[in-house]
Amino acid sequence: MESLDADEAAKLASCLEYILDIVGESMPEVQIKETIIKCDFDKELALGTLLNSPVGGPRKEATPRSKMKPRPTRSSPPPDEATMRKFDKERFLERLLL
């Protein structure tokens, strides 16, 4: 960071206090100070710049659904052959009686 004269240092401290009251410790103080200086000590512009800038680098793109792996489902095991024959008989009888 470049050296600041007394007037700029006072402006920086004032802006820093204002922004820290709003964002707390959610952003590194160094990043806040650099942004204040880049915004020529305009606290509103610096705050807007900080709040609208991506945190931690570029955002991760969402994975398209076509590339997603299917999630396992919790289902009962398939019925055995005897159960299937019983089911088929019951269904046949129901249809026959209708």
pLDDT tens for 34-90 read 999 999 999 999 999 999 986 554 444 555 655 666 666 666 666 676 666 666 667
Q: Is residue 47 part of a domain?
A: yes
* CATH number (domain holding residue 29): 1.10.8.10
Q: Residue 71: its pLDDT value, please?
A: 64
Q: Residue 93: its pLDDT value, please?
A: 73
User: Please, what is the average pLDDT of the chain?
Assistant: 78
Tokens 């512009």 label which residue? 45
Task: Please state the three-class secondary structure of 33-70 as a single string.
Answer: HHHHHHCCCCHHHHHHHHHHCCCCCCCCCCCCHHHCCC
Q: Is residue 86 part of a domain?
A: no
| Domain residue limits at 12 | 1-55
Q: Tokens in use for 31?
A: 């990043």
pLDDT tens for 2-41 read 688 999 999 999 999 999 999 988 899 999 999 999 999 9
Q: Residue 97: its pLDDT value, please?
A: 73
Number of domains in the chain: 1
